[in-house]
Structure 1
Amino acid sequence: MDKQLRHDLIKAAVQENKIASQSDLVTYLAKKGYPITQATVSRDISELHLIKVAQADGSFYQLPQVEQIDRSDATLAELLKNVNAQFYRQDNLISIETAPGSGIVVANAIKQRHWSEIFTVLGTDDSALLVLKKDDVNNSDIVSERLAALLN
């Protein structure tokens, strides 16, 4: 099966149905005539950056709310405020806590800015972890001040 077609089917599935698990997606695709493995669905979920969002009747996969992220500071500030972001720092680590389902979006938004002080960014469902470079300058102070300015 063509990967692009599979991705298109998965996008349609999560937009039109309440897909709560990977096995739900496997079943959906099989009913459409495309039997694939759970491992393939797992990779596709990761590649499509699907997020699970809690609703009154359970948690369901959705497409990320922001597919192409504007690199302006105003856009990042708005995103951080909308997801009720709070950050905490320890040594060369900064943890940004977010609303459920928003951590990966925040992590991607920060990655796309290519801040020179950051070594890498890891995103989870409800947080982003910034690992800062250890240089002669205090990158932790620089990034913390930048985040504080965005959140105010």
Structure 2
Amino acid sequence: MDKKLRHQLIKQAIREEAVNSQSDLVDYLAKRGYQITQATISRDMQELHVVKTTQDDQFIYRLPEQRPEQQDNDSFQTVLREAHARIDRQDNLINVETLPGSGSVIADAIKQRHWPEIFSVIPTDDSVLLILKRKPAAVETVWERLTEILK
């Protein structure tokens, strides 16, 4: 199956239905005659910057309004808030806790900001670890930015 068509169908499914899991997308595509693995769906969702958010007390997938590299501070703030991001810090590390399935999207959005204080961004399914350079004020600068965005 063509990747572009698969991406279009994934977007269509997310817009039309309350998609709660990747297996929902596998089933959606199967009903349309396309046998796709969950691993392929997972990669596609990361490429599409799909985030998991809450709606009516359940988790659902949502497409971002814009790709992270096109985001301004308002849309970056929206992505962080919809992922219920919480931050904590220790030494030269800042950890961003998110809803399950949102870690890689948040990591991509942070990377696109090209903050010079960041040494590395390490995503998991539900968090992002920021390793900051050991320069005076690096941690404080990034902490203040994130705190301001999350207000």
Match of 1:114 in 2: 114
Q: Which moved more, 1:1-10 or 1:29-38?
A: 29-38
In structure 2, distance between residues paired with 1:108 and 1:147: 15
Assess if the C-alpha contact under 8 Å between 2:81 and 2:150 holds in 1: no
In structure 1, distance between residues paired with 2:61 and 2:94: 27
Distance 1:140 1:13, change over 3 A: same
Tell me the CA shift for residue 111 of structure 1: 1.6
TM-score (norm 2): 0.73
Distance 1:21 1:143, change over 3 A: closer
Tell me the CA shift for residue 31 of structure 1: 1.4
| 3-state secondary structure, aligned to 1:128 | strand
TM-score (norm 1): 0.73
Q: Which moved more, 1:100-109 or 1:138-147?
A: 100-109
Assess if the C-alpha contact under 8 Å between 2:76 and 2:109 holds in 1: no
Match of 2:96 in 1: 96
Q: Pairwise CA RMSD of aligned residues? A: 3.2
**Unaligned stretches of 5+ residues in structure 2:** none
Distance 1:117 1:65, change over 3 A: same
Distance 1:120 1:57, change over 3 A: same
Match of 1:139 in 2: 138
- Count of aligned positions: 150
Match of 2:48 in 1: 48
Assess if the C-alpha contact under 8 Å between 2:121 and 2:131 holds in 1: yes
In structure 2, distance between residues paired with 1:41 and 1:81: 23
Distance 1:150 1:43, change over 3 A: closer
In structure 2, distance between residues paired with 1:47 and 1:99: 18
Match of 2:130 in 1: 130
Structure 1 segment 62-73 matched on structure 2, within 5 A: 62-68=62-68
Distance 1:39 1:110, change over 3 A: closer
> Once the two structures are superposed, what CA deviation does each residue of 1:75-117 show, in whole Å capped at 9, x if it has no partner?
3785488557553211110123457776555433322110111
**Identity of paired residues, percent?**
53
In structure 1, distance between residues paired with 2:35 and 2:76: 43
**Unaligned stretches of 5+ residues in structure 1:** none
* Aligned-partner residue type, residue 117 of structure 1: E
